[in-house]
């Protein structure tokens, strides 16, 4: 049975004690590094998507950008920031 794929739903607080062995510590560190790497990748991808959308709007707009284009750019930045906060 694979313990990493099982789950348990608790309906009240439970104290969990773990004996920290070097193997357990290494496994947890590896998992955390992978999760941090995934979060960093997601954040960079979101930022790049936002920048591409803004660049596309600026390319399509007149010079200087009007208030409607500025509002759309602000909306894109707000959406990117909201998605970033959901990830973290």
Contact 77, 54 (CB under 8 A): yes
In the chain, where the domains are located = 22-87
Picking from 18, 11, 83, the residue whose alpha carbon sits closest to that of residue 46 is: 83
pTM score: 0.63
d(CA 49, CA 76): 10
Mark the ranges of the chain whose per-residue pLDDT is less than 50: 1
Q: What is the pLDDT of residues 66-87, one digit of tens each?
A: 788 888 889 999 998 898 888 8
Largest CA distance in the chain: 64
| Rounded alpha-carbon distances, angstroms, from residue 16 to 10, 12, 19, 29 | 12, 12, 10, 19
């Amino acid at each position: 049975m694979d313990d990493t794929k099982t789950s348990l739903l608790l309906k009240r607080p439970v104290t969990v004690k773990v004996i920290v062995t070097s193997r357990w510590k290494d496994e947890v560190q590896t998992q955390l590094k992978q999760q941090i790497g995934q979060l960093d990748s997601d954040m960079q991808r979101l930022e790049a998507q936002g920048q591409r959308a803004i660049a596309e709007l600026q390319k399509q707009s007149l010079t200087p950008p009007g208030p409607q284009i500025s509002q759309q750019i602000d909306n894109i930045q707000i959406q990117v920031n909201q998605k970033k906060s959901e990830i973290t």
